[in-house]
Amino acid sequence: MPEKIWITIDGKSFQVAPDVTVLEAAREAGVHIPTLCFHERLTANAVCRLCVVEWRGSRTLVPACVATVRPNAVIRTNSPRVKKVRRTILEMLASATDLSEAPELQAMMAECDADPERFGPDAKRRAFGGIKDDNPFYVRDYDKCVLCWRCVQVCAEDVQFTFALGFNKRGFDTEIATFFDHPMPETTCVFCGNCVAVCPTGALKPKTLL
C-alpha cells in the first residue's frame, strides 16, 4: 500500500492516500464541495466546473473531481474566488435552463447565494421545442438539460454499453440526442432506465412521474 501524504484543506492538515482526488480527500475530511456532473458510478469528466477549488501555487482554479492530491498541497474549497465562480456558473445555468425540477441545483443556488435573475429577462434560454415523447417509458425535456453528460456516459462504456445517446449541434445549442435524432424506439436503446436514474434536473423523466 503506497505511503500516505499530508495535505491541507481549509486549514485542516491530514493524511490521505496519494492517488485520491481532491474531492475524495475533502469528503474523507468531512469537507463539503458541491458537484453537478460528478457521479460516483461514472468516469469524472469535469464538464460543469462547480467543484473548483483554489490550490496554492496554481494560477487557475482546479476541478476537485478530477485533480489528484499532491504532497503538501494547500487547498481552499470556499475562498471568495471559489464562491464567486460557483455563484456565476449557477446563475448562468439558471439564466439559460429550466431548473424547476432540479432540487439539488436549487439547494446549491441557495447555498452559494446565487441570483437566478441576475442576467435579467432577456437572457437567452436553451429551448428545444418541448417534451419529446416517443416511447412508453420516459420523456425527454431538453429545456431542462444542463449538459452534465451523465446520461451519455451511463448509456456508453461506463455502464450500459448501449450508445443510444450522443449530442447534436455545438456551443450554446448543444443538445443531447439520439443519432440523427431518430425516435428512441428506432435506436439501440434498451430502456434500462439508467439515464433517467442519473439525470439531476428532470430532463429525463419516467412516465410514472408525469
Q: Which residues bind ligand FES (CB under 6 A)?
A: 35-38, 46, 48-51, 63, 65
Q: State which residue, 62 or 165, has the beta carbon closest to ligand FES.
A: 62
- Grid cell, residue 89, equals 456558473
Cβ at position 122, least distance to ligand FES in Å? 28
Give CA–CA dist 109/70, Å, rounded: 30
| Beta strands in 23-80, from DSSP E residues, in sequence order | 52-55, 62-63, 74-76
Nearer to ligand FES, 50 or 195 (CB): 50
Question: CB-wise, 23 or 189, nearer to ligand FES?
Answer: 23
Work out how close the CB of 61 gets to ligand FES at its nearest, in angstroms, rounded to a whole number. Answer: 10
Contacts of 96 (CB under 8 A, 6+ apart): 123, 124, 125, 126, 172
Sign, CA dihedral 143-128-175-60, equals: negative
Minimal distance in Å, beta carbon 206 to ligand FES? 25
- Other CB atoms within a 10 A radius of the CB of residue 161 amount to 9
Nearer to ligand FES, 52 or 184 (CB): 52
- Shortest separation between residue 55's beta carbon and ligand FES, angstroms: 14
Instruction: Give least dist CB 185 to ligand FES, A.
Output: 32
Query: Between residues 9 and 65, which has the closer beta carbon with respect to ligand FES?
Result: 65
Question: Is the sign of the CA dihedral 181, 182, 185, 186 positive or negative?
Answer: negative
- Strand pairing category for 74-76 and 5-9: parallel
